[in-house]
Amino acid sequence: MQLEKHKAGVGLFILATLALLICGIIALGGGRYFSRDTEYVLYFDSSVNGLTIGSPVMLRGVPLGAVTRITLMTGASDTGVTTPVNIRINADNLVQASGERVHDEVAEQEIIRTMISKGMRAQLQTASLLTGQARIQLDFYPDVPARFRSPTPLLEIPTVASPIESLQKSLSKVPVEEMAARLQNSLVLINEFLASGSLQRTVEAMEATLTTTNSLLQDLGDAPALVEKILANLAVSTDAVKKETPATLAEFRKALQDFGAATAQLKVFASAATELVSPDAVLSNNLERLLRDGAAAARSLRNFADTLERNPESILRGRQGAY
């Protein structure tokens, strides 16, 4: 009797142990043994540092699954090393537009393939800067073409380069050594320029230019008053010209009339002078005779003056031998 009780106790203990074991497996496995999860593979050519089994898989911030396996495959890329990462997507987190949940793996795979065709790609991102942990981020990149490497592409999600990888590629194209050499040369030139005193001379020249400019601006400040004064004088002069113009024009017309009359008289005088100097004119002959007589008289007077100059007493005695 006691033996049977003992056997019953051992049996109950074994059953309890199995029950606890099953519960532990379910707890540790996150219930995945009873869920409709499908595994997909991702291929990364860069480092997956910080990614571990159990790292989360997110789609725009929504938990969608977890990493289940990380392996290393050689000879599958240009670098010679590729890292396949297996992830498991929980279908319970997928809800269709109608509001219905996904009930089987076929429907889940169809949804994933549709999302991939619309540009869904996987990217490795840093989950925490402090701990360095990484995660798989799913998002849509319609401009990035899908690149499949798995022999079963229906269960593969294409990947895109991580932000750190893109930054590293961009930095690798920057000629750092050349830029450093140019910077050093620039510093040397700047040092030589400062040592030569050119900077001081430039500053002094700028100060002189600013002083001249300031003086010019001050002079320009007085210019409006000067211009206003000139315009006022010009207005007064214009008014005076307007007032004097009619009288001036009248005087000018009178002067032209006088000039015309003088011209007519000059023509008459010219005609008379022409007749006067003509060889056949009587007045001309008389004038010629008068000039000859006048010349003879002048010679006689000159001779008489010479005689008086030589002999002043001859005016009393008379000329010797005149009789």
Q: pLDDT, tens digit, for every residue of 172-199?
A: 667 777 888 888 888 887 777 667 776 6
Residues 131 and 234 in one domain: no
Domain stop point among 160, 191, 223: 160
Give the percent of the chain with pLDDT over 70: 56
Residues 146 and 247 in one domain: no
Residues 156 and 181 in one domain: no
Structural domain contains residue 30: no
CB contact at 8 A, 115 and 188: no
Residues 146 and 187 in one domain: no
State how far the Cα of 107 lies from the Cα of 5, in Å rounded to an integer.
53
Residues 151 and 108 in one domain: yes
**pLDDT value, residue 323:** 40
Structural domain contains residue 321: no
Residues 78 and 191 in one domain: no
Residues 101 and 192 in one domain: no
Residues 131 and 49 in one domain: yes
CB contact at 8 A, 87 and 117: no
Structural domain contains residue 218: yes
Residues 142 and 201 in one domain: no
Domain that residue 46 falls in: 37-160
**pLDDT value, residue 291:** 60
CB contact at 8 A, 199 and 193: yes
Domain stop point among 160, 189, 219: 160
Could you give the number of structural domains in the chain? 2
Quick one: pLDDT band at residue 6, thresholds 50, 70, 90? low
Q: Which of 55, 70, 65 is nearest to 131 (CA)?
A: 55
Strand-pair category, 134-140 with 56-59: parallel
Domain stop point among 132, 160, 188: 160
State the first-to-last Cα distance of the chain, in angstroms, to the nearest integer: 231
**pLDDT value, residue 322:** 46
Residues 136 and 83 in one domain: yes
Structural domain contains residue 16: no
Q: pLDDT, tens digit, for every residue of 195-247?
A: 777 667 777 777 888 788 777 767 666 666 766 776 776 666 666 555 655 56
Residues 62 and 149 in one domain: yes
Looking up tokens 């003056």 gives 305
Structural domain contains residue 319: no
**pLDDT value, residue 215:** 76
Residues 200 and 150 in one domain: no
